Structure 1
Amino acid sequence: MNIGSRIERIPDNKYNRKLLVISGFGNTFDSMDIAMVAFVLPSVIGLWSLSSEQAGLLGSSVLIGYFFGALLSGYLGDKIGRKKVIMYTLVIYSLATLASAFAGQWEHFFWLRIIAGFGTGGESAILAPYLSELIASKYRGKYIGALTGFHSFGYVAAAVLAYFIIPMSDNGWRIAIFVTALPIFLVIYWRRVLPESPRWLASVGRLEEAQQEMKKMENSIEKALGEKLPEPAGTAANTIIQQKGSFFALWKRAFVKKTIMLWILWFSVIFSYYGFFTWLPTLLYNEGFEISKSFAFSIVIYLAQIPGYFSAALLNDIIGRKKVIVTYLGLASVSAFCLSQADASTAILITGFFTSLFMVGAMAGMYTYTPEQYPTIIRSTGTGSASAFGRIGGLLAPIYIGFMYPILGFIGVFLMTTGVLFIGMVSTLLLGNETKSRPLDEVADSADRTVEDPIDSSSERKIN
C-alpha cells in the first residue's frame, strides 16, 4: 500500500505534536550552543589574552563546523537514514561541547567548537526533511515552521543562562557551556521513540522495514486519537524503484532552477541573519548608543524571534510558503532600512525588533520550503547542501561587514543588508513555485526518473 497515501490520511494529532517537540529540542540546543559562544567570548578573550584576530576565529568556529556538518549530514541522511544521522550528530555536538568546557588553551577550544558546530550543523540540516516526511501535506507547513521556531528558544535560553551563570565566577563560562552539553541524554530517549522515515526506507528498497515503521506510527496515532484511522485514498500497489541519489543530481535539469533559487535564498538570509546578530550591538555602541550593551536589548531582539517563527509557521499553510518567504523578506528589508535611519534608543528597539522578527519568519518559510523541492532520494542532500551554502554567507557576513563599516558607515551597512534581503526575495519570487498542501509524492513522482541511475525492470519492487 502506498506509504504517501497512508501518511496523507493522518489527521493532526498528539503523536505528531510529540514528534514536533522531540525534534524541536534538537534545534533549541543547537541554537543555544551557537549563541553561547558570543556570550562566553569576552571571558575567554581575557583568560587567554586573545588578539582580535584570534577572537574572530573563535567567533566563527561553530559556523565553520556547521558548514561541513550540514553538507555531510544531508548526504548521509539519504544514504544511511534520517534517524541515525540525527542521533550521531547529537552525540558529536554534545561530547565536543562538554570537552570544550574543560579546554585549557584557546587552540583546543577553537577546534572543539568546530567539532561541536559539525554536530549542530548536521542535526539542524536533517531535522526539517525528516519531520516533513512524517506529516500530512495539510499540516506540514505549520509543523516545519514551528520546528524552526524552536531555534528561538535556544537563543533566549542562551541569553538568560549567560546573564545568570557567567558572572557567578571566573569559571562561569565553563559552567554555561557544560549546561549546553546536557542534551547527550536525549539520545537514549530518541533511540526508543523516534521512527525512521518510512518514505526513506521505501525509497531505498527496504520495504519490509518501511511497512513495520508505518504500522508502528499508525498504531501510536490510533491510540492518540482513540479511534481507527480512515482507509487511505489510494490502495493500489506502489511501484518502488531502488535508486541512487547524489549531490550531482541536484544539478540535473529537473532540479537546477530549484537548487539555484534555494542557494541564493539561503545565502541571502543567513548572510543577513549573522551579519545582523553579530555586528548590531557593536555598531550601535560605536554610534554612541549605550542601549546596545544592555541585557534588555539582547533579550528584546532575541524574543522577537518567537513571534517571527511561529507567525510564519501558521501562515505557511494559509497563504503558502513562497508568499511567506517573499512577504517576510520584503518586510525585513523595510525594517532594516528603517533601522539604518534610527537616531534614538526607542526607534532602535522597535526597528531592531521587527528586523529580527521578519528575518526569522522568512527562515521558517525557508526551512519548510526547501525539503519540498526534492524527491525522497535526494531530499536530505538538497536541504543539507542549501543549508551549507547558506553558512558560507554566515561566515562571510561578519568579516565583510567588519571590512565595509569604516567605508560605508552605519547607514551603509544596513542599506547593504536591505539589498541582500531584497535579492533573496526576488530570486524566490521569480524562480520559486508554490508547494502549499502539495503531497511530497507529487515531487517524487514527477522527478524520480531524473535522479536514478539507469535501471531495468528487474530492479522494480512493489509494496502490496
Structure 2
Amino acid sequence: MSIADRLERLPFSSFHYRLLLLGGAGYCFDGLDGAILAFVMPALQHVWGLSMAQLGLLGSGAFFGYFIGALTAGAVADRWGRRSVMMWALACYCVGSLISALCVSWHGFVLARVLSGIGTGAESAIIAPYLSEFVPRRYRGIFTGALAGFFSFGFVAASLLGYALVPGSENGWRWAIGLTACPVVMLLWWRRALPESPRWLLATGQGDTAHAVLCKIEKNIGVLSPSYEAESVPSIKTSFAGQFVGLWRAQLWRITAMSWVLWLAVTFSYYAFFSWLPTLLIARGFTITHSFGFSIAICVAQIPGYFSAGFCNEYFGRKTTIVTYLGAAVISAASMALVSSSTGILIAGILLSFFMNGTFAGVYAYTPEIFPTALRATGMGSASAIGRIGAIAAPLLIGALYPKAGFAGVFGMTALILLFGALSILVFGPSTVNLSLEEIESTY
C-alpha cells in the first residue's frame, strides 16, 4: 500500500485534532501580530507625531517582512522540509515582536516590524500546505478551513488587548505588542509534537523515513501498518530558481497566475480594512473608546465567518465557497461606502468582516491543493508573498487616498478589487472537490 493510500485511509482522530490545535495556535498568533498594529497606530501617531503618510509606512513594515518570509520559506520548505522552517519562523516572529515593544523611535519600530513580519510570513505560508498533507480528502476542506479560522481568535485577542491596554496609559501600546511575543513557548511543544510530512519525505526520495513516520502515526491511532514496499517516486532536486520557474511551466502557469491575482486582491482588501479600521472610525468622528468597541464587534464576526466557510469548503467545494463569499464581501464593502449612520457602518463592517474572513478560509484550503507536492510550499509561499504586496500597498495607499476620497472612496475601491479577485477564480480556478492531492496533481 502506497504512502498516499495509507494517509487517505486514516480515520480522523486525536492525531489530526492535535495537528489542528498546533497549527491553529500558530495562525492565532499570526492573526494577533497582524491585527495588533491597527490598535496601537492611534497611540503611536500621538506619541511620535506621525503624519498619515508616515503612519502608512509604519503599517507597511511588517507586511514587507511578510513578503520576504513567505517568498523564501516556501522554497526552503520544499527543499529542506516543512517542520524546521515553522519553528525558525516562530522564533524570528517572537524576537521581532519583543524588540518592537522596546523601540523609542518610529524608524526602529518599522525595522523591528520587518523582522517579526519575516517570521510571521514564513510561518503563515507553511502551516496550511504542511498540515494538509496529513489529512484525507474527505476531511481536508473543513480541516484547513477550520485551521485558518484560528486567525480570527488572534484578531479578537488583539482587539481585546488594544481596548484594555492602549487607552489606559502612555506605554499601554508597549505592553500590547510585548504580549504578542509570548508564543515563543510553543517552540518546545512543536519540537516534540510535529512530525515531518510523509508526502514530502517520499517526494524527496526518503521513502524509508516516510514509512517510519507513518508507522508511528498509525500506531498512535490504532491502525495496523502494512509491510513497507519501496515506491518508485523519483527524488526531485532543483535549484531555488528552478522551483520558482517550475510554477510557470506549461501545466501550472494558469494556476500560478490565478492564485497570485486571488491572493493579491483578497489580501489587499483585507488589510485595507483591518489595518486602518480604528483609525478610519476615529477620523470619521468616533471617540477612540467607541472606535475600539466597534472594532471588537467587527473582529468577533471573523469567527463565524471562518468556520462557516470551513463547513462550506467540504460540502460545496473550495472554489464555490470562495466565489460566493467574495461576492458577498463586494456587496458589504459597497454598503460600507454608502451608509452614513453609525449603526449602518457597524452592520456593514460586521458583514464585511464575516465574508472577508470566510474567503480566507477557502483560500487557505484551496491554494495548497492546486500545486503538486514537490512545489506545494513554493506555490503557497509565492502566492502568499504576492498577497503581501497588497498588504504592503494597502496602508500606504489608504493613507494617501483617504484625505482625497474619504471613507466612501476607500471602501468603493475595496469593493472593486474584491470583484476582480472573484472573477479570477471563477474563470481560471480548477475544482478540487473530493479529490486526493495525488489525483489533483495527476490532472496537470
Length-normalised TM-score, structure 2: 0.94
**Alignment match, 1:452:** none
**Alignment match, 1:119:** 119
Alignment check: 8 A CA contact 1:270 1:393 kept: yes
Superimposed CA distance per residue, residues 67-111 of structure 1 (whole angstroms, 9 cap, x where no aligned partner): 111101111110110001000100111112122222233322221
2:272 to 271, 275, 297: 275
SS at match of 1:75: helix
| Alignment partner of 1:244 is 2:243 | no
Percent of aligned positions with the same letter in both sequences? 48
Mind listing any 5+ residue stretches in structure 1 that lack a counterpart? 223-227, 448-464
**Alignment match, 2:326:** 329
**Alignment match, 1:429:** 426
> Is the alpha carbon distance of 1:45 and 1:336 closer, same or farther for their aligned partners in structure 2, counting shifts above 3 Å?
closer
1:411 to 384, 408, 413: 408
> Is the alpha carbon distance of 1:54 and 1:400 closer, same or farther for their aligned partners in structure 2, counting shifts above 3 Å?
closer
Deviation at 1:265, TM superposition (A): 0.6
SS at match of 2:233: strand
2:378 to 381, 388, 409: 381
**Alignment match, 2:214:** 214
Alignment check: 8 A CA contact 1:282 1:292 kept: no
| Alignment partner of 1:152 is 2:152 | yes
**Alignment match, 2:201:** 201
Distance 1:117 1:293 in 2: 29
**Alignment match, 2:39:** 39
**Alignment match, 2:337:** 340
**Larger radius of gyration between Structure 1 and Structure 2:** 1
Counterparts of 1:21-60 in structure 2, within 5 Å, are 21-60=21-60
Deviation at 1:171, TM superposition (A): 2.7
Amino acid at match of 1:444: E
Deviation at 1:191, TM superposition (A): 0.4
SS at match of 1:241: coil
Distance 1:252 1:157 in 2: 42
Alignment check: 8 A CA contact 2:163 2:289 kept: no
Deviation at 1:285, TM superposition (A): 4.4
SS at match of 1:11: coil
Counterparts of 1:168-187 in structure 2, within 5 Å, are 168-187=168-187
Deviation at 1:399, TM superposition (A): 2.3
Mind listing any 5+ residue stretches in structure 2 that lack a counterpart? none
My pick for the range that moved more, 128-137 or 405-414, is: 405-414
1:257 to 254, 257, 271: 254
Distance 2:362 2:62 in 1: 24
Alignment check: 8 A CA contact 1:77 1:380 kept: yes
Length-normalised TM-score, structure 1: 0.90
Alignment check: 8 A CA contact 2:27 2:147 kept: yes
Superimposed CA distance per residue, residues 296-341 of structure 1 (whole angstroms, 9 cap, x where no aligned partner): 2011110110011000001101000000000000111111122222
Distance 2:277 2:116 in 1: 25
Superimposed CA distance per residue, residues 407-444 of structure 1 (whole angstroms, 9 cap, x where no aligned partner): 44433332221111111111111101110221011233
**Alignment match, 1:352:** 349
**Alignment match, 1:391:** 388
Count how many residue pairs are aligned between Structure 1 and Structure 2: 440
Amino acid at match of 2:436: P
Amino acid at match of 2:395: P
Distance 2:404 2:107 in 1: 32
> Is the alpha carbon distance of 1:292 and 1:100 closer, same or farther for their aligned partners in structure 2, counting shifts above 3 Å?
closer
SS at match of 1:318: helix
Counterparts of 1:51-70 in structure 2, within 5 Å, are 51-70=51-70
Amino acid at match of 2:202: A
Deviation at 1:36, TM superposition (A): 1.5
Superposed CA RMSD = 2.0
Distance 1:128 1:399 in 2: 29
**Alignment match, 2:82:** 82
Distance 1:75 1:408 in 2: 40
